[in-house]
Amino acid sequence: MFNGLIRTLGTIQDIQKKDRYRTFVIQTTPQLLEDVGMGDSIAVNGCCLSVVALQNNQFSVDVSEETLHCTTFSNYKMGQIVHLETSLRLSDRIDGHLLTGHVDGVGEVVSLEPVNQGMTATFAYPKALYAYIAKKGAIAVDGVSLTVNAVTAQTFTVHWIPITLEKTHFKYLRVGGKVNLEVDLTARYLVHFSQVQKEQAHEHVV
């Protein structure tokens, strides 16, 4: 589990294409890796991945064919800057919202509007996620916990305060850029429960 507060940034140093998966080698700070071991989970741009190798200030993760298909990882190139968050301990404070690191879809930047020292961003998102995104609700964009300011059936809007721009790669995003999205965990289960209730009610009627 994660909470959507980015620990630090990393840089993709190497991408090794293998049969049905790719290995990404990511350079980061020694502080992030000081308590990370083989097999531990790290969220990379909001995607929960397992560490398969550690060397100096680098770690490697394997990204499966399915994950490549469902996330923005298939578009990544060497030199790409990514968000990194290590998994939560049971004693950690949860300052964002609970995340699983399981990406629900890919969004696209449709507008960026500077506001004072911050930025208002609007994203298009897959139609299948509409039921899970609510005004004042939570959403993770590339693993960052954010509050939805506005939502339509096609787009949602968030605001990045100056410190968020300073600590993340969002300052490098441009219109047309792609991001990983994870909907709120509570919304996911509420929508599923509602669907099951409707299906069971329909079965009783029939």
Q: Domain of 152?
A: 105-192
The residue from 26, 58, 86 where one domain ends is 86
178 and 116 inside one domain: yes
Distance of CA 179 to the CA centre of its chain: 7
Retrieve residue 143's tokens. Answer: 């693993």
For residue 32, being part of any structural domain is answered with yes
What does DSSP assign to residue 99? B
Count: domains in the chain: 2
Indicate the pTM of the whole model.
Answer: 0.90
133 and 72 inside one domain: no
Per-residue pLDDT in tens (0 to 9) along the chain, 206 residues: 898 999 999 999 999 998 889 999 999 999 999 989 999 999 999 999 999 999 999 999 999 999 999 999 999 999 999 999 999 887 677 777 888 999 999 999 999 999 989 999 999 999 999 999 999 999 999 999 999 999 999 999 999 999 999 999 999 999 999 999 999 988 888 887 887 787 777 676 65
Listed residue (152, 149, 153) closest to 139, CA to CA: 149
Domain at 20, CATH number: 2.40.30.20
- Starting from the edge strand earliest in sequence, which strands make up the sheet with 105-115, in order? 144-147, 138-141, 178-183, 105-115, 118-124, 155-160, 150-151
Determine the Cα–Cα distance for residues 107 and 132; give it in Å rounded to an integer: 14
13 and 78 inside one domain: yes
